[in-house]
Structure 1
């Protein structure tokens, strides 16, 4: 039989044998994968790379051992060199597929579609970043190994190594921003400062971390816009992370109203509103007067929700309802400017300008004590929904976080020597 026919027959037979063995192994692994996540991922990711790698390796061995008669022929050297390059590339593909299967198996154990998913999102972020680094390293090493198979490249290797220091310095200066972003991406992945699906506020925009790569971060803005930022932004500039510790957050709605606003009545109205809404998680409902300057008083409604989307809708609901309530039920509490004309002896409905003793006589003298002096009545203890740091277990826990260390053994700050 002619040597060429023998070579072709052996090559085709080896390729078919490799394809058959890979097909049988794939069927077995897929059957076993019904009870194993790892085997299922291997059957999905590693089938094609293993098929290509096994076929190329079989063809290489067949050509090498069936063409011994043609040792030294140029066509044989060229064919074997091409097969070696194909083997290196297919093996690199197989290694990458195996690593991807292991990473997907790890991610399958930690779900992100559950309420308390902070640890899972952190792991997903780290695995995704490692996957990108792994693929980049495999590609670089594969190209390097393939180039080293050329004699000309090996010949200039010594001179390249000698000038590697100068080239490295030049490359570092030229790619300073790129390398900075890569290092920042790795820092973000392992410092737990930001994770995929975290809710953040950056550049005045509120959104969710949609994608985190080695060079840039994609923030999905609430109105479906995408904000693309370099990874170094999150390591050099301040930003808000609403879900770093947990998804439940607090939000405010502020109102500038007239001094005649009935705060307690408005507080009760806020409580009725949030208790009737499914957006409220039942933790915090507080209405406080936070400022009283400029002719108006500022009321801040503080409410809580299980996650930031619910909080956004709850804050809008509180604003809309309380604005309507003030307009319809307490129109005198709307912000207004006052101008007093005359000598000021007249009395307004909302202000009693007389001394306390005269006001007490009109009320029947019930508050009179001592020699005509009147002791002003103190306000009662504010209810729970008027206190942020106290009034309940959640408020007491929040207050303990913001209390400094108790140094009972130190000097008395009130003592003066």
Structure 2
């Protein structure tokens, strides 16, 4: 643990950042894909139903009432409430006296999907009458048919789940009904969508944005040792600045911070008073954005740097400046997360962060270098749950503006 100063401070920790997490693709299950199920045409009242799956639609036609088409999915759909799955359907019923009943089948139970369309009109058997309809509804907001003919067959019961609280969808049914002798039901969309949401994983071969500096080695300029060669605010692990753990407490005693001082032996007689961190990414990488977390407490001589310059290099010797991060209103007791996004990606193996001191101390908790990566390795996370993200160039933090001036790569 880093040595505490005698003065006890009351500090406020404030994080304000905008992130764009990596997104997994939605899972879309098309219930009218002919190849996804075994389909059966069921006759009734001497009437047969015919089907057409062309143009990505299901068209069912019949010369009279009650024949239906049913499917048994090749693989049953298993859903939990946490999936946040939606059911989307779009269909139309043609001919003035035609009707339809569109259903999801779950074991011995049935969900009459058409009963959940607002302001619809039903016949005496609970079938929906002629018209064009569209519905998007959370799957777990649906109800099952309760088996009674009362109230136009609209009676419902709660979804029947298995012992693991899962809803199993086995197939669908589309009925041709009504008084018409020319019934056509066209289902243009019938799908279940499971949102992908934010993800910490990348699939093989996909490119994602990740913190390439996570766990990487670096060199420091400005690590101060006192007269007894003791370092009061050390880099205890040698990777405190790339371990993915941002400071959750805005205190100079927090071991997540490394203290850089312009009186350090390797900075004298540096009149520019610039300390630095140079990260070795291990290989040449494509870089898109950068972030640094610092501490401000001017009461004990710890101020935000007036500027943070970022440069990249292929060899650690020849540098190209790619951006400056400047922080206004340094007299604020808070942590600051400096952020910059490049106008265009650049490449390099080494990234140098140069901190221009306003006072003797600059405290740094984490440096991050974001860029493109491929493969199955997930973007790194720290204990605070941050994942790889693209950094937005201008935010407001603790009443102080973070101003980013960018240069083209």
Q: TM-score range by the shorter chain?
A: under 0.3
* Larger relative contact order, structure 1 or 2 (CA cutoff 8 Å, min sep 6): 2
Rg larger for: 1
The two structures have a TM-score, normalised by structure 1, of 0.23
Greater helix share, structure number:
1
Greater strand share, structure number:
2
The two structures have a TM-score, normalised by structure 2, of 0.23
